[in-house]
């Protein structure tokens, strides 16, 4: 594998409630090892059909607002064709159409280039799957 590419997998336990999990620190730690001070791109990918990656402000209520908005847009009821799992689980399979399972972000001089209030987050509304993997890949 080229010195210009590095990848690693995070194992995240999200628990049995809907969550927005901040991955920014994990991304920064990965880049400290992988980027070597270079410019490039960080790709964050969650290989699950019921989770997504979002870039948003956390800690000021925006993460809760996102979950509330998803409840409005995707109610957890029996309207969905996809019906295995807990009631309303079909909504979890629609989530990646609104919160995609990936993000690609700029890396400048080995550091993640985010806005002042931006964080990289795993969004998981699936209460049936408590263990998630997130693949971080640096191309520089």
Q: Check which CATH number belongs to the domain holding 45 and give it.
A: 2.60.120.460
Q: DSSP per residue over 26-39, as a string?
A: HHHHHHHHHTTT--
pTM metric for this prediction: 0.93
Report pLDDT for 28. Answer: 98
Domain count, the chain: 1
- Residue 92: exposed, middle, or buried by beta-carbon count in 10 A (0-12, 13-18, 19+)? buried
Nearest to 137 by CA among 4, 33, 44: 44
pLDDT at 88: 80
CB 8 within 8 A of CB 64: no
Tokens found for residue 12: 């995240």
pLDDT by residue for the chain (140 residues), tens digit each? 567 999 999 999 998 889 999 999 999 999 999 999 999 999 999 999 999 999 999 989 999 999 999 999 999 888 888 778 777 888 999 999 999 999 999 999 999 999 999 999 999 999 888 899 999 999 99
* 66 DSSP assignment: H
CA distance 35 to 27: 11
Print the domain residue range for 52.
5-139
Determine the pLDDT at residue 2: 61
């Amino acid at each position: 594998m080229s010195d210009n590419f590095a990848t690693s997998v995070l194992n995240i336990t999200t628990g049995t409630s809907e969550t927005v999990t901040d991955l920014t620190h994990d991304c920064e730690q990965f880049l400290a090892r992988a980027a070597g001070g270079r410019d490039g791109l960080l790709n964050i990918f969650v290989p699950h059909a019921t989770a997504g990656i979002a870039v948003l402000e956390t800690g000021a209520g925006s993460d809760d607002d996102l979950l509330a908005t998803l409840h409005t847009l995707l109610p957890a009821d029996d309207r969905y064709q996809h019906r295995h799992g807990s009631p309303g689980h079909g909504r979890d399979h629609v989530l990646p159409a609104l919160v995609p399972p990936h993000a690609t972000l700029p890396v400048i001089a080995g550091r993640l280039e985010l806005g002042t209030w931006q964080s990289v987050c795993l969004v998981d509304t699936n209460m049936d799957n408590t263990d998630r993997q997130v693949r971080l890949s640096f191309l520089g």
